[in-house]
Each structure stands twice: as C-alpha cells, then as structure tokens.
Amino acid sequence: MLRRKKVELLTLFVGLQLVSSFVEGKTVNGDHGLSRFRDLLRNDTDRFCKYIICQENETPGRCPEGTYVDGVAQFGCCGACVIFKQYGEDCTGSIDPKYGMGYHGNDEESLRAQLTGSGQISDSLPPNQNVLSSSWCDFGLQCRMGITLKTVCFPGGDDDKGCRYVQKQYQDFLADPEPDPEGNPQSEKFIPFRDDYRWSPTCSEDGYFAEKQCKGPSNEGRCVCVDPVGNRIFGSAFDFQKDLYETMNCKCSRKVWERYQAGESTVTLHCAQNGNYEPLQCEDGWCYCIDPVTAKTYGPNLPESALKLLPCYDAKLLGQQYLRRCESEFHAHAHLSDLLKAKGVQPPSISLSCDPDGSYSPVQYDGPDAKCYDRYYQWLWSPAGDGCQCRRDNMMFKDLGIQVNVNCEVNSGMYEQIQTRGNTVYCADQDGVRTGPLVYKQYEAYLSCKEAQMCQAGTNRNCRLACEHCTREFYDS
C-alpha cells in the first residue's frame, strides 16, 4: 500500500467534527479531537482510513486505462484517476520509483500539493471522468533538466524501461503505425503479418509488470509468469490448454519468486503448471486450503500429519505425502547440510534443481555437463542451455497429439531464433512465441530479430528495422 501523506491541519478543518465523533466520544485536551486526529494520521493510517468514507471513490475499472492510483484522495485513503506528465512536458518529479521517490517520498510535503485540479476535467478524456492531473512524469520517464533549462520528462535508459513506458509506446504505435511499405508515406495502414507481433504488457498499479503476461499475435500467443521487471519465471499456458489458460493468474509463482529473493533457501509452496496455487499447501509442518483462482485461503490450518482432513485433500492427486520426489530429495539434502554445519562440517554441494510444482527443473547438471530433462527426470537432450523450453514443448505437443513443427537449437534445447511455418519464417523468443514480422522464406535475410526485440521493448523507431526495405509482397497474406 502506498504510504499516506501528512496533510496540513487547515486542509482538514472541514472534517474535524466528523473525526472528533469517533475519538472516544469526547474532546481531548480541549482541542476537539485534533491531537487524536493528528496522531492517527501519522502513526496508524490503516485505522484512520476506516473512518473515512470515500466520496467519488474510483477503482481500476472506472478509470481510463493506466490512470488508477491507490491512496491519493481524501487524506490518502481513497483511489483516484491520475494522469501524469508525458515525454517533453514540464515536470516537478517522477512517479516511477526508479527516477524519484514516487508517492513514497517526502513526509513533510502533502501529496495533494503534487496534484492539481481535484475533480478537474482533462481535455483529452470524456467529461464524465473525475481525473486528477499530476505534475510528475509517468512511469518509465524521469524528470530532468532539458536544453531549455526547464525540467521536463525524458525516457529512462534503454535497459531500464518500465511496464507503463512500454505500454504507452505500444499505444502510440497503434495510433500512428509505420507507413505502408508500398510507398505511401501518409498511410496509417496496419499490416497484420508485419505489425501484429507486438503486444501490450499488463502493468500493476505501481507501474511494474503484472504477474501474468500474454504475449504474441492473436491465436499464436502464450501466457507466461514474470517477475516485476518482466523476466520470465515458472508458469505458462497455451490457449489450447483451456483449463490452465482461462484461470491463469501466476500468484503462486510470483510468491515463490519473492521468497527466494528474500533469501529463503527452501520454499514448499506448490504451484500448478500455469503458476496458480495448487488447492493444498503445506509450510513449516502446517497445511491449509487455497482457492487457485482467487488465491484466498479457506478452511482450517492443520498439522501435516492431519492433512487428509482438509476439504481440499485429494488422494489421487497428492498420494500419501505432500513433498514430491524432487523436492523430497532436495529438502533431505538441505536438512543434512544444516546438521553438518551445526557440527562444523562443510556439507557436500547439490546440483539438483526443482520447479515450484515440486517436479524436476528442465536443466540438471551431471558433473560439469548440463542436460535437458522432463519433469519426471527423464533425459531429453544434451547439452542444455538456459531452460530447454523447446525440447520440453516438443515432447508436450507429441503427448497431446498436436502436430507442430518447432526448431530447437542443437547445442542447448532452446528455441532457435528463426522458426519455420510452412513457406514462411519468423523470429521467436525463448517460449517459441513470434516476436517479429512473418515473411516468406526467400526473404529471411531481411529479418532482424534484434531490432524486433527492441521494438517490442518500447523503442518505436526500431520497428521499421525489424524487416528493413520490406515491401508488401514480402509478407504472408
């Protein structure tokens, strides 16, 4: 939750009578509740906000896309729609924590002082929208001195562009895509197999990448789980995996990632293949049930020895114990290591790696050699690269009876950068998703996967270089 801001007492005067009514039902030190009011606002904002009734309280669904910010209205207790300064506009700061303090900043300065026009109608939005205008730059932009000696919004570094920045660049691209390669420089025509590989990321309220991202062209894409800066973590689903695809939220995968980032050496949460929580979870000897779709717990907490009494227990899925083969082996080694360290003995190292669903990770080491394995520890390929995703997907397609031809790198088990589909070729990422224009085979040399990748990352000027000098007949129709 965003940190609440101090508000000058004069701006609070209108609400004093209401506030004093909940302060023990009487005046305090003759100040009509001001001291208590001030104390709650500074030291117990969660309790303070329980007494605030949000007027015109906005929610993400009621705000124009990308404008909802929590904790900015009515003493920092209510949500609001906020528009931020864009590239080249005058500014006083940045909402992006990478380039400023965001709304976690100076306690002595009221958040409301950073917003002008409470309830003001923005010229670019419908007149029925209650939108606040901020003097701070949007996510992905930093406020710094320009050549005119004024502070204006500039994009972040090429390697440091946030989710909101990429999202905004994608929207700008759709509004004014590259000219039609047939030669009409005024054309705003969107060419499917040239432009459709770009996708808009889903951003969290604080401007980072949401847990679940669905990437790639329509009917060709894949949903994956990512960390807050967009790096791939455990969990994915294709659209033909309906049960996994339609309910996917990646809540479990993100939580496991967070715990490992916090320094935990062993995490016993169980995630499904799509990154959702499995219904039954056990930690530190206690077990409980959780709804995979809502990620909310229900029912009692019971000792692991009594897990069969939980309403979510399924003997067919779980068997007789919670830990699976890979994690049982890993946790046994971790326990032995702790015992040896307590006796001053250096424990042996372990190269075993498990996924958050308790199965074996794709890459396992046999001495110095990395090899690809399936989730049951059956050898697939060697040598291995970073993930072996292509080899695993290829096996999954065969098991499901799906006729898909994919090109895997011989020396890694990952997807080759150039993939073939019939008489066409295209650039692919680590998940096999198309990340560039789709052209006929004879024009493969015109493709630049690096430029296409930069285009997707929000550098719009690189989009035309993804297939430089390509004309309309290069693309599939």
* Residue 124 confidence (pLDDT): 45
Contact 7, 109 (CB under 8 A): no
The number of residues in the chain equals: 477
Least confident of 87-101, 322-336, 428-442: 87-101
* Residue 160 confidence (pLDDT): 54
383 cis-preceded (ω within 30 degrees of 0):
yes
Confidence of residue 186 (pLDDT cuts 50, 70, 90): very low
Contact 305, 338 (CB under 8 A): no
Provide mean pLDDT across the span 120-125.
39
Provide mean pLDDT across the span 422-434.
93
- Angle value at C-alpha 396, between 391 and 400, nearest 5 degrees: 150
CB-based burial label for 66 (10 Å; 0-12, 13-18, 19+) = buried
Give residues with Cβ within 8 angstroms of 54, minimum separation 6: 73, 74, 77, 78, 79
Provide mean pLDDT across the span 149-161.
68
DSSP SS3 for 408: strand
Confidence of residue 108 (pLDDT cuts 50, 70, 90): very low
**Cα–Cα distance measured from residue 368 to residue 366, given in angstroms and rounded to the nearest whole number:** 6
**Cα–Cα distance measured from residue 54 to residue 51, given in angstroms and rounded to the nearest whole number:** 10
CA distances 193 to 200, 435, 439, Å, are 17, 11, 8
Q: Tokens in use for 212?
A: 């679940």
**Cα–Cα distance measured from residue 405 to residue 419, given in angstroms and rounded to the nearest whole number:** 9
Question: Cβ–Cβ contacts within 10 Å for residue 230, how many?
Answer: 16
**Tens digit of pLDDT for each residue in 83-106?**
888 877 888 888 776 776 554 333
Q: Tokens in use for 288?
A: 């409980």
**Tens digit of pLDDT for each residue in 21-43?**
444 444 445 565 667 767 776 66
**Tens digit of pLDDT for each residue in 230-275?**
889 999 999 889 889 999 999 999 999 999 888 787 889 999 999 9
Give percent above pLDDT 90 in the chain.
32
* Residue 425 confidence (pLDDT): 95
**Tens digit of pLDDT for each residue in 440-464?**
999 999 999 999 998 998 888 888 8
DSSP 286: E
Contact 15, 22 (CB under 8 A): no
Bridging pattern class, strands 424-427 and 418-421: antiparallel
